[in-house]
Amino acid sequence: MATHLFSILLILLSLTGIDNIITVTEVSVKAGSSISIPCLYDQRYRNHKKYLCKGYYWNTCSYEIKTNQRNSKMYSISDNMTQLLFSVTIQVIAQDTGDYWCAVEIDGAKDVGAYFHLSVSKDLPKLYVNNQTVKGSGDVKVTCNHSDRIGAGMRWCRLGGPCVTKSGSIGGAAVTVNPVKNAFVVIMKNLTKKNSGWYWCERGGLQMPVNLFVHEKSTTIPTNDILTSDERQQSRLTHWEVLIIILSVLVFAVLMSLLLWRTFLKRQKPGKEKSDKTVRSNSQNEGDLVYSTVVPKQKGSVQKNQESDDSATCTTAVIKQKAQQKVCKESESVIYSSVGHLQIDS
């Protein structure tokens, strides 16, 4: 109850001058984890120093970290002058609540700030998301987990912009909020780059900031300012994997070609050796040939009768190395009508 009354008091204070910074008001976090808090400021403070102040009262809070200082183990701060927003990250070490202020330093005048309360628990927070950074294109989904012990009134808001309870639009993107068991799911559709920025889940007076990065659908690889170092390393590993696959396919194709060529050569050699053996066999057995009919070649019809006496006609010629040979008178040209092997018993 006191927390709600203090929130109302902060709203009244914002009407009297502390309206230059916009941030969340109540955040729940688990001990031992970290949380990032966005702080939106007015354009006139673009070049001013920003800082995180710790303490319940604005006039007595203590500096924790400034934009002109190095980050520490417990606090870090960054300023995006393009978006007019600085964010602080708090590493929660102990189970203890904390009161903080997002503040802007003004030379020669009173600084301005916006209060938020950090509730720390040893178990799961009352309201939390699995990752405060969400990336996507076209459509994104954010699940806001919560405990049943907190009140109702769930909604999705943009930092410094409108809120949606069930369905509506933010920056031209369609938004629906659907309750499920111990959570509610936020779906944003038709996103463009202008929808990038800080949002928050809200239920029962608690908020949980979410940083949304939107890249165009046609972008195959997100830009380096969106990718983390792990994601850039993963992208390089993917390219190496593709190269290894291509080289493996080429090596496989070369090995298959060599194997087919070797098989082809092996099939050709036996045929050649068989042909050579056949030729040698025929030449070795040439002495065992039988010419069934030997007819002299006719030189002309006029000389046929005259040359019949001069040319011998051998009806059977047997050539055997160890047998008696019959020698016929060799004519100028003969025609062998058929040739075959003759088997002679020894």
Indicate if the pLDDT at residue 267 is higher than 90. no
Handedness of CA 69, 75, 76, 77 (dihedral sign): negative
Which of the pair, 76 or 279, is modelled with greater confidence?
Answer: 76
Statement: residue 16 has pLDDT above 80: no
Residue 271: what are its φ and ψ, rounded to 5°?
A: -65, -40
Predicted confidence at residue 131, as pLDDT, reads 93
- Least confident range from 255-264, 266-275, 312-321: namely 312-321
User: Mean of the pLDDT values across residues 284-299?
Assistant: 47
Per-residue confidence (pLDDT) for residue 127, from 0 to 100: 93
Kindly report which listed range (42-46, 298-302, 335-339) carries the lowest average pLDDT score.
298-302
Please report the pLDDT score of residue 42 as a whole number.
94
Give the least confident one: 26-40, 143-157, 221-235. Answer: 221-235
Q: Kindly report the number of other CB atoms within 10 A of residue 24's CB atom.
A: 23
User: What confidence tier does 206 reach under pLDDT thresholds 50, 70, 90?
Assistant: very high
For range 86-96, the mean pLDDT:
86
Q: DSSP 3-state assignment of 10?
A: helix
pLDDT value at residue 94? 75
Higher-pLDDT residue of 279 and 196 is 196
Looking at residue 247, its pLDDT comes to 87
The three state secondary structure string of 70-101 is CCCCCEEEEEECCCCEEEEEEECCCCCCEEEE
Torsion of CA 147, 148, 149, 152, to 10 degrees: 100
Q: How confident is residue 241, by pLDDT bands cut at 50, 70 and 90?
A: confident
The Cα 137–Cα 302 span in angstroms is 106
In the predicted structure, residue 64 carries a pLDDT above the cut 50: yes
Average pLDDT over residues 124-130: 92
pLDDT at 271 (0 to 100): 52
Q: What is the mean pLDDT of residues 87-103?
A: 88
Lowest mean pLDDT among 288-292, 293-297, 320-324: 320-324
For position 167, what pLDDT does the model report? 93
Q: Which helix (H) or strand (E) holds 274?
A: helix 229-284
Lowest mean pLDDT among 4-18, 64-78, 256-270: 4-18
CA distances from 37 to 71, 75, 129, 159, 226 (A): 15, 11, 14, 11, 19
pLDDT of residue 236: 55
